[in-house]
Chain A
Amino acid sequence: MPRVCLLEVAHARSGDKGDCANIGLIALRPELYPLLVEQVTAGRVKEHFRELCHGPVERFELPKLHALNFLLHQSLDGGGTVSLRTDAQGKTYSAALLRMEIDVP
């Protein structure tokens, strides 16, 4: 089974609310959405972001939009006004998630 970067099967956008980042992950085609649901679990996303995210990861499903929404708690070094990070608002976390690899049939 080939293993590909999420970049090849999805697109994404991310932003912030306080110290919590959100990442919307959208399948490039509807038939790819079940792969995201099956493989891009909250647990895998937490492991993927272990260096940046110090709280829990929540996942929500939007099947009609072929999309998942992730909340990465405590992932912005205290949040926009406090953070010492270059990406204090998690704007690039969308692409960071797209680095994850999944199996495609």
Chain B
Amino acid sequence: MTGADRIRVANAQGFWGDSLEAPLLQMRQGPIDYLTLDYLAEVTMSILQKQRARDGNAGYARDFVEMIGRGACDIVERGIKVVANAGGVHPIACAEATALALQRAGISKGLKIGVVLGDDILPRLDELLERGVPLSNMDTGEPLSAIRSRVQSANVYLGAAPVAEALDQGAQIVITGRCADAALTLGPAIHEFGWRMDDWTRLAAGTVAGHAIECGTQSTGGNCQYDWESIPDFDNIGYPIAEIGRTGDVVITKHEGTGGRVNVPGVTEQLLYEIGDPSTYITPDVIADFTSIDLTQDGLDRVRLSGVGGRPATDFYKVSISYSSGFRAIGLLVYGWPDAARKARKAEQILRARLNHLGLTFDAIHAEYIGANACHGDALSGPFHPDTPEVALRVGVRGNDRKAVERFTREIAPLALNGPPVVTYVGGRPKVEEVVAYWPALIPKSEVSWNVVMREVDA
């Protein structure tokens, strides 16, 4: 516990691939105490696992390390603490690379990096299965044994306690692997205010604060449908900041002078983003109730968030398991006016027939006509319009036979010459990708033990 009554927790990365400048701007455009960075979407862990399989020193968010190098002065001079799930499937390697980046920046001797370990249960899977922990798929109920041989990664969503522990031990940078997104925000609040781990109402408030900012500018005007055209200065959009008070009061805001907008409709959109039952938002630390939340405008670009309900956490952690599930490839051909969509559909029919002639079978063949039906399907998009300027045929296949998928990739380009007219071939031959599927499961908390390793930066 520190003496602060209020902290400013900033988010500067809503997913891996978000703005490279945002972390630096969040530190330079106004006061913040914590910089949180969320790199791990559901799909990200499988990508990192592939990278680690190719290179034993990879498997974490390299963008993070580059950012630390560029922002080392800001972090040290302003005393900003950084909390990031950049560790991916290899937090130790991430911490080593981060320490090296700080060393190279030449100003960071003695700075402590806290590494949260214990989320990776891949080496323990067989032991867990033998002991009767089924790790069944939460959606389908199937036991993990059905896909055990194809598992590529298995990571527990850890909570805020390890983050708080690393901060308690003096870490200025905390690197985690898989953890609940909101834990990046809740951890600092627990550390600063000494909130007890059974103070459900405050833990829920900190969790919802984290949820509100974890997707970057989605709470400051980005990807916001409400009156989107009047949102100012997207080019200089401010990333979100959660002001969290000792008693659990929360204001969502952004730095003065930045673009974007923080208002009740926009924050409401983000609160509802990627949630299930709003009365039962389950995290490792608490069950938060969104249905009692009040949002009020509290000055320009400030939204006050109150009334979050909290109930005791469950006895389980969620586990994110990825497994190899065949191959896919997706090709693109663009057809021009007139009757662009009809040409695209004809080309699809020809392609399907040719795949048949070749005796190729797939688990799925799927075609969409970008410009006519790709986002919302035929039923909602309505009939094809003959005057649509152009339509892209986007056609993909998925299956277990890599050779069949590869053969499919050779059948796209020929259509430019031997199919319907007014066509242009873009992007080159499609690449065959390995499909990594996602298997959500639960594990009793008693089966998981996390720990924090401290790494001090050398001179």
Interface residues of chain A, those whose CB is within 8 Å of chain B, are 11-13, 15-20, 22, 24, 26, 28, 48, 50-52, 58, 60-65, 67, 69, 71, 73, 77-82, 84-87, 92-96, 98-99
Contacts and interface: CB of A to CB of B under 8 A. Distances in A.
Contacts of A62: 272, 278, 290-291, 293
Interface in B373-388: 374-380
A86 B377 CA distance: 11
A13 B366 contact: no
B274 A15 contact: yes
Contacts of B325: 82
A24 B272 contact: yes
A50 B376 CA distance: 11
A62 B272 CA distance: 10
B273 A81 contact: no
Contact of B225 (A51, A94, A99): A94
Which of A28, A64, A77 has the most B CB atoms < 10 Å from its CB? A64
Contacts of A16: 42, 274
Contacts of A93: 376
Contact of A64 (B265, B293, B396): B293
A40 B290 CA distance: 20
29 contacts: A11-B269, A12-B269, A13-B270, A13-B273, A15-B273, A16-B42, A17-B276, A18-B139, A24-B268, A24-B272, A24-B275, A28-B226, A28-B265, A62-B291, A64-B292, A65-B293, A69-B276, A71-B276, A81-B43, A82-B325, A82-B398, A84-B328, A84-B366, A84-B396, A85-B366, A85-B374, A86-B370, A86-B375, A93-B376
A52 B373 CA distance: 12
Interface in B200-254: 218, 223-226
A58 B275 CA distance: 12
B46 interface: yes
Contacts of B277: 58, 60, 69
B295 interface: yes
B380 A26 contact: no
A95 B225 contact: yes
A18 B323 CA distance: 13
Contacts of B377: 51-52, 96
B275 A69 contact: yes
Contacts of B43: 80-81
Contacts of B268: 24, 26, 65, 67
A46 B67 CA distance: 44
A82 to B, nearest CB: 5
A27 B396 CA distance: 37
A86 B394 contact: yes
A96 B328 contact: no
Interface string B292-332: 11110000000000010000000000000010010010100
B182 interface: no
B292 A92 contact: no
A11 B225 contact: yes
B193 interface: no
Interface stretch (B73-81, B103-111, B431-439, B449-457): B431-439
B273 A11 contact: no
Interface in B93-144: 139
B359 to A, nearest CB: 21
A51 B223 CA distance: 25
B265 A11 contact: yes
A11 B292 CA distance: 20
A92 B374 CA distance: 10
A64 B291 contact: yes
A28 B370 CA distance: 30
A87 B374 contact: yes
